Chain A
């Protein structure tokens, strides 16, 4: 469960322009601590070097990448690695979305434009529970579905009959996908059953894309 999210931005005008377009005020989200420019920005930035434990209060730390020195970025990276937190770097110079595991934590790298988008609204409205919402917005489920489809496809390539529990362990699918698509009793799973599951997922992917 996510209790608190910290956003550190050094460009108040950028945030203002983007959030005006989105018709939101980031300060209205109780889960979000929005540090935007001014002395507070420097205070929080300084904490990275002087007192990293200060960030212990936050489960997700979102920060403008270019506002930090390489040393500060390294400190934050190491911190989320050890403390199982999620670190989000956004920047105008980034032209892709990338979600990576960093030790025990995760790092999302995203462009400023994609960060200040409906994705952020969706993510905050759902209390920041799903980082994929911030990465891919309303397509986060699609991303998971395609991921599951790919996993099952490659799993089938060299598949030999196994008990359902083993199959689920191997595939490591999100629970909501299991609940929705793996409607079978415990027991041995035939290859054809997996192919059928995959066909259903593919059909749903098509539906989602319209």
Chain B
């Protein structure tokens, strides 16, 4: 067992200690190295030997107030990788212990278990050696008592606090993951975290030691798994991406089969240049074949953001606004160490609904609380993924608004549907507000059918009505030719190209089998006596006539519209009780389907 004696600068020049000690010296950090990193590396280098005691000065250098020896002592106790962290520590110096205690709170380590202070004025190193030979080490060391005695304040600078929270959260979350040592990305993430400067600081080690005293049960391990991100592209805009956050998201999202794009930050880039480069990156992805569906955005992306008073000027907020200005449906998850409510308010104003607040070391979360934070991360990502279809929907609606192919004489219809704040915009705005709310979905379905009804009634599309006592329906084909779909005969029969099929939808509550649920098309006009009355039936006849015979929409799609129409008439417009209460329509499937039909109808070339 070794007894290490760390020499300070004064001793190293002038004094030969007893051979009982193995002497050593902690090299000062080089100009670009952190003191904590230098100390940690030095201490880890001693890990190969069995160490019984470490005798060390209060300060390693001539500048006593650096108290670097006390810092080394704290690192010995708090560095979990050290085999000898419970070793007897003996500090030596020339001052009396009461004087040292007055100089710095770091001196509190002198009053912790298995730590001793020797005043060199009173005791020689021979006597220290004798003392060590006789000292009875408390085994195991009472770490709880040690942690009670000491106090390590975080670096007080407000910006470093942001970095602290970022590094802390990353290390903490990773410690909660189920171990996947065979996974290269998992190992890479672990390696990055082990290299973070903050994880070398006394504050990190102190807080980590405190939380490691928390009971840790296997059930606390949790690696987020996302349900709906498969096939989606997720963009990461995070200035700490290089420090491990990029690997963190990549590891999690790619495990769930999402594609990850990470924006590259450059140190010392001017804020204006950074914003321009970010916008360009967003534009490039937006115009690519697989645009980013979900952005994960940190708020403070540039150093100047830490001094920014106006929330809207913070880089992250500017970027979120830009993303939303391009496509209101693109999902943004704000991931931040900030807990400033006004920032979140700004985000909500531009349509952000998902937030991840990174855990901070100040909060001393329990393992269960950290687990809940990770569960919240999962929930927020899943929520954003569930709404990711809105981006595609928005693109379709914008395409419809720009590229509709209609007779320009149909001004009222064009204004009603395609212009700003028209029905298409209304549908999108409602869905963007809350695409999971039943009342919102009912309203969207009504608006969708309003578009369809109005379209079928356009003069340039066809005509359905009575003339000289005879009912008839025709549509204008795309080549401008007139196509008679049905003509009523005077004998109460009807010559028609199709007939409605009746039956019962599986979601119908009643047992009636007279509901129009589909249609059959004949090879040629046939004379039929079947007759369906009522508003819905006349709409269905018009709709089938237009969509099948003019627009060439698939029969299966038209029958799906018939199904939605039944729902619309018996739930969205009037709650007739004819539809089972547990049946719901969804924005992702049903409203998107209707918009897709509009795309087929209104856009000439897709």
**Interface residue ranges, A against B (CB under 8 Å):** 10-14, 17, 66-67, 69-70, 73-74, 77, 89, 92-100, 102, 107, 109, 111-113, 132, 135-136, 139, 142-143, 146-147, 149-155, 157-158, 170, 198, 202, 205-206, 209-210
Cβ of B46 < 8 Å from any Cβ of A?
Answer: no
> Quick one: which of B10, B163, B304 contacts A150, CB cutoff 8 A?
B10
Neighbour of B303 across the interface among A10, A74, A77, A132, CB < 8 A: A10
Secondary structure at chain A's binding surface: helix, strand, loop or mixed?
A: helix
Extra contacts besides A10-B303, A153-B121, A198-B121 (13): CB < 8 Å = A66-B267, A73-B32, A94-B155, A96-B68, A98-B28, A113-B156, A135-B65, A146-B95, A147-B62, A154-B11, A158-B14, A205-B99, A209-B99
- Range, interface on chain B: 35 or more
- The reply to whether B121 and A113 contact each other, CB–CB distance below 8 Å, is no
Inter-chain contacts of A139 with B (CB < 8 A): 65
Ranked nearest first, the 4 interchain pairs of A and B with the lowest CB-CB distance are A13-B307, A92-B157, A153-B94, A92-B160
Q: Are A102 and B31 in contact (CB under 8 A)?
A: yes
Residues of B within 8 A of A152 (CB): 94
| B577 touches A (CB below 8 Å) | no
17 chain-A/chain-B pairs, Cβ below 8 angstroms: A11-B306, A11-B307, A77-B32, A92-B163, A93-B163, A96-B66, A96-B68, A97-B66, A98-B35, A98-B66, A98-B68, A100-B61, A107-B31, A111-B155, A112-B157, A112-B160, A202-B94
Partner of B95, one of A69, A93, A202: A202
Give A19 Cβ to nearest chain B Cβ, in Å. Answer: 13
Using CB atoms and an 8 Å cutoff, list the residues of chain B in contact with chain A.
Answer: 8, 10-11, 14-15, 28-29, 31-32, 34-36, 59, 61-66, 68, 71, 93-96, 99, 102-103, 120-121, 124, 155-160, 163, 197, 201-203, 267-268, 303-304, 306-308
Contact, CB under 8 Å: B32 / A136: no
Q: Which residues of B contact A95 (CB under 8 A)?
A: 36, 155, 160, 201-203
Least CB distance from A139 to B in Å reads: 6
Cross-chain pair count, CB within 8 angstroms:
137
A92 to chain B, nearest CB (A): 4
Question: Which interface residue of A74, A112, A210 has the most chain B CB atoms within 10 A?
Answer: A112
Known: A102-B31, A153-B121. A209 touches B159 (CB 8 A): no
Cα–Cα distance between A120 and B465 once the two chains are bound (Å): 91
A210 to B31, CA, bound (A): 35
Q: In the complex, how many angstroms separate the beta carbon of A41 from the nearest chain B beta carbon?
A: 10
Given that A70-B32, A153-B121 are contacting pairs, would A99 and B66 also be in contact in the complex, using a CB cutoff of 8 Å?
A: yes
Does B157 contact A69, Cβ atoms closer than 8 Å?
no
Q: Given A111-B157, A146-B95, A205-B95, is A11 in contact with B304 using a C-beta cutoff of 8 Å?
A: yes
Of B14, B103, B157, B159, the most chain A CB neighbours within 10 A belong to: B157
CA distance A12 to B66 in the complex (A): 29
Q: Which of A102, A111, A154 contacts B15 (CB 8 A)?
A: A154
How far is it, in angstroms, between the C-alpha of A102 and the C-alpha of B102 when the chains are bound?
31
Complex: how many Å from CA A90 to CA B486?
Answer: 86
A150 touches B155 (CB 8 A): no
CB nearest neighbor in A for B16: A158
B331 to chain A, nearest CB (A): 32
- Across-interface contacts of A151 in B (CB, < 8 A): 10, 62
When A96-B35, A154-B10, A202-B95 are in contact, do A113 and B155 touch as well, CB less than 8 Å?
yes
How far is it, in angstroms, between the C-alpha of A151 and the C-alpha of B10 when the chains are bound?
6
Q: Which residues of B contact A158 (CB under 8 A)?
A: 14-15
Kindly state the separation between the CA atoms of A109 and B31 in the bound complex, as whole angstroms: 9
Q: How far is the CA of A153 from the CA of B92 in the complex (A)?
A: 11
Q: Kindly list chain B residues whose C-beta atoms are within 8 Å of the C-beta of A96.
A: 35-36, 66, 68, 71
